[in-house]
Homo-oligomer: A and B are copies of this chain.
């Protein structure tokens, strides 16, 4: 496997203002990825990338992640058809988080529950009680798509 990335700069100014892509993978070898739709910036999901997932994403233009639950490389949408075509990749100031701007294929749904975004519930507070309220409908039926779940 080729390595695209430099070791993280020890110098704060180089890390924050430099042109070197030197991701700060954590103790588990991961950076956090925020995924937003290119068209309207809707935030679709949060995931994690190891070095290989980041390299494959840059090289292929299709989003790859590291699944912490399955402990394996994860080409998002391989089962559901909701692949993510990457328009832009951005890094944050201290290079431990990456932002992907994507177009979503298939049913244009990212969440495994069938909804467009994983953030389909808002926090509502009434009379001191706090609860979650769903305000998005599924775009596909997960029971017919993920037959091995």
Contact = CB atoms under 8 A, between A and B. Distances in A.
Interface of A: 4-5, 16-21, 32, 34, 36, 40-43, 45-46, 58, 88-93, 97, 99, 111-113, 118-123, 125, 130-134
A79 to B, nearest CB: 16
A93 B112 contact: yes
Given A131-B20, A131-B21, A123 B90 contact: yes
A133 B18 CA distance: 8
Contacts of A130: 4-5, 21, 58
20 contacts: A4-B130, A5-B130, A18-B132, A19-B133, A20-B132, A21-B123, A21-B130, A32-B46, A34-B43, A36-B43, A41-B41, A43-B43, A43-B99, A46-B97, A58-B130, A88-B122, A88-B123, A90-B120, A92-B118, A92-B119
